[in-house]
Amino acid sequence: MKRALVTGANRGIGLAIAKGLARQGYEVLIGSRNRAAGEKAAKQIGAAAVELDVADPASIARAAEQAGPVDVLVNNAGILGSGSLLDDPQGFAQSIAVMVHGPYLLMHHLTPHMVAQGYGRVVNVSSGWGAFSDGVNGPAAYGVAKAALNALTVATARTLPDTVKVNAMCPGWVRTRMGGMGASRSPEEGADTAIWLASLDAAGPTGGFFRDRKPIEW
């Protein structure tokens, strides 16, 4: 049985990804900054929970040790932010910590096992707002952080062997606390491409950016 760690998975898209992987027979670990929320969500879908604050390197190291070897990593945790990009240095730093440095550190801790066993899947939940082709939109530092996450995806895929596939995906506008209830997609629809990328076979792509299981422009 393959093991998957999904960050920010106590609700929204992350929970939908975790639920989908559990249905496919994965042993799922829900990463959540709030331990109680993570355990509650994990109980609902037959998963386990690990306390994980992706903005805190010490928390990441503890969670990686507690999780042990994993075959699939889904970097889903994110924050939207608000305000003006250049007027909020603290918000900028937080966005980079959560959506770039956190995923980097998780890959640092967890991909050596994937390389050693000759199998691994990393899915970075990004956004079209982080695409240069779409003007790097989004509030505050969100688009900048997602663009950096996209760059990290490309560079990491180039660094790792083809047996460890690293891809980014855009879930679209999803009805979550971040996306709002007026969004056009359900969490399950937003999660579908991430689940697909997490379970790619050996011939699947690496170093790509996808929406609805189709490549999109960076």
Render pLDDT for 55-110 as a digit per residue (tens, 0 to 9).
Answer: 999 999 999 999 999 999 999 999 998 888 999 999 999 999 999 999 999 999 99
Mean pLDDT of 139-160: 96
CATH of the domain at 185: 3.40.50.720
Strand extents, DSSP E, 40-199: 48-51, 72-75, 120-125, 164-169
Which domain, by its residues, includes 124? 3-215
Instruction: Kindly indicate the confidence band of residue 179, based on its pLDDT and cuts at 50, 70 and 90.
Output: low
Which residue in 26, 104, 119, 142 is the catalytic one? 142
* Residue 173 scores a pLDDT above 60: no
Per-residue pLDDT at 183 = 64
**pTM of the entire structure?**
0.95
Q: What mean pLDDT, rounded, does the chain reach?
A: 94
* Total number of domains in the chain: 1
Q: Residue 33 in 3-state DSSP?
A: coil
pLDDT score recorded for residue 81: 86
26 is catalytic: no
Q: What b-and-e string marks burial along 158-197, b requiring 16 or more CB atoms within 10 Å of the CB? A: eebeeebbbbbbbbbebbbeebeeebebebebbbbbbbbb
